[in-house]
Amino acid sequence: MSERFKALLITKAGDGQTVAETDLSVDDLMEGDVTVAVSHSTVNYKDGLALTGRSPVVRRFPMVPGVDLAGTVTRSLSPAFREGERVLVNGFGLGETHYGGYAGCARLQSGWVLRIPEPFSPADAMAIGTAGYTAMLAVLALEDAGITPEKGSVLVTGAAGGVGSVGVALLAKLGYRVIAATGRDEESGYLSGLGAHDVIPRKELSGEPRPLARERWAGAIDSVGSTTLANVLAATSKGGAVAACGLAQGMDLPTSVAPFILRGVSLLGIESVHMNMPRRRQAWERLARDLDRQKLAAITRTIGFHDIRDAADGILAGRVRGRLVVAIAS
């Protein structure tokens, strides 16, 4: 690794922010006991919000964005890691309060770092990234709530996005009958290829929410929020559960208590940024076991470092299918 490396840097002046490519040195990095040569990152919906400034994701300036990174340990002051090990980090304030993945080098706290599980490469780890890891956390939450394939169908909203694509692939591999909801009719074939049994249009979940609707699914993974989540809850069957992990449509939830007190529906909140390390390890071990690598390849596109900002605009506009891997050296 050269002494200097390229990085994307967000600076703030007044009410606006500027994103620019620059060069940094190791001395510019923030404190940590593990230094990583970053080979790959990714672009999540949250990264799009940070780069465009549409939401106050970044809470410290200047900031290297990128909530995910993967690469190789080049220096470690922690006995937990050795030089040459392949590692990844999701969350823990990366790209928000601590320099993140859009740079050739990162210095990190060892308590944030995970070894990349076999058989994944650093590129595979970022094809999964926060979105796929969050999808796995949602699946684990549904399992913990007793939602088995025998209980009935599981809905995935925002199904052509990052969380949704991995969620569909995981659930199908585990034997669930998956219903995929998307606002992009042209993605029906793509979603069927990932294992969706049925594909429904987003508009079915866009109307004025009723307290209760016809029971249609035993569980759901929702990355959309707002009216969509309210309609998902209303159509969840007795004893069902919905894992909520996103707010693409909004942070509001125009629902009633009816699904909870009349059908015993559970709303499961999925928080991935500060998830404890045992649960993280469990999620990544399950991803290594239960995520079909051919399907992972099918949902992934690799872009270069210079394409990050365009990708941020695209993901917020709903133009990105599946997952984007950033090859940092390109």
How distant, in Å, are the alpha carbons of 41, 82, 143, 238 from that of 151?
37, 45, 11, 10
How distant, in Å, are the alpha carbons of 33, 34, 38, 73, 122 from that of 79?
10, 10, 20, 12, 22
Query: What are the tens digits of pLDDT across the range 78-118?
Result: 999 999 999 999 999 999 999 999 999 999 999 999 999 99
Same domain, 96 and 146: no
The enclosing domain of 192 has a CATH number of 3.40.50.720
Query: Is position 277 within any domain?
Result: no
pLDDT at 15: 81
Query: What are the tens digits of pLDDT across the range 249-260?
Result: 999 999 999 999
Burial of residue 195, with CB atoms counted within 10 A of its CB: 0-12 exposed, 13-18 middle, 19 or more buried: buried
Query: Is position 198 within any domain?
Result: yes
List the domain range (segments joined by +) for residue 155: 130-269
Residue at token pair 């872009």: 303
| Residues paired with 5 in a beta bridge | 24
Percent above pLDDT 70 for the chain = 99
Distance separating alpha carbons of residues 147 and 108, to the nearest angstrom: 37
Same domain, 223 and 167: yes
Distance separating alpha carbons of residues 166 and 12, to the nearest angstrom: 34
Same domain, 110 and 226: no
pLDDT at 308: 98
Same domain, 140 and 203: yes
Same domain, 103 and 141: no
Same domain, 111 and 19: yes
Query: Is position 163 within any domain?
Result: yes
Closest CA to 155 of 87, 235, 98: 235
Same domain, 260 and 165: yes
Domain total for the chain? 2
- For the segment 72-77, the average pLDDT, to the nearest whole number, is 98
Which band of pLDDT confidence, cut at 50, 70 and 90, is reported for residue 16? confident
Which band of pLDDT confidence, cut at 50, 70 and 90, is reported for residue 1? very low
Same domain, 197 and 258: yes
Q: Which of 249, 269, 289 is the last residue of a domain?
A: 269
H/E stretch holding 122: helix 122-144
Q: Which of 222, 248, 269 is the last residue of a domain?
A: 269
Residue at token pair 């909530």: 67
Closest CA to 48 of 23, 22, 60, 66: 66
Same domain, 206 and 171: yes
Instruction: Name 271's Cβ contacts closer than 8 Å, sequence gap at least 6.
Output: none
| Residues paired with 34 in a beta bridge | 76, 108
Query: Is position 83 within any domain?
Result: yes
Cβ 238 vs Cβ 231: under 8 Å: no
Query: Is position 278 within any domain?
Result: no
Same domain, 172 and 53: no
Query: Is position 250 within any domain?
Result: yes
**Strand locations in 163-232 (E):** 178-182, 198-201, 217-222
- For the segment 192-220, the average pLDDT, to the nearest whole number, is 97
The enclosing domain of 99 has a CATH number of 3.90.180.10
Same domain, 245 and 310: no
- For residue 14, pLDDT over 90 is answered with no
Closest CA to 193 of 168, 222, 158: 168
Query: Is position 318 within any domain?
Result: yes
In whole numbers, what is the pLDDT of the chain averaged over residues? 96
Cβ 156 vs Cβ 168: under 8 Å: yes
Closest CA to 140 of 292, 286, 295: 286
Query: Is position 283 within any domain?
Result: no
Same domain, 148 and 112: no
pLDDT at 216: 98
Query: What are the tens digits of pLDDT across the range 143-172?
Result: 999 999 999 999 999 999 999 999 999 999
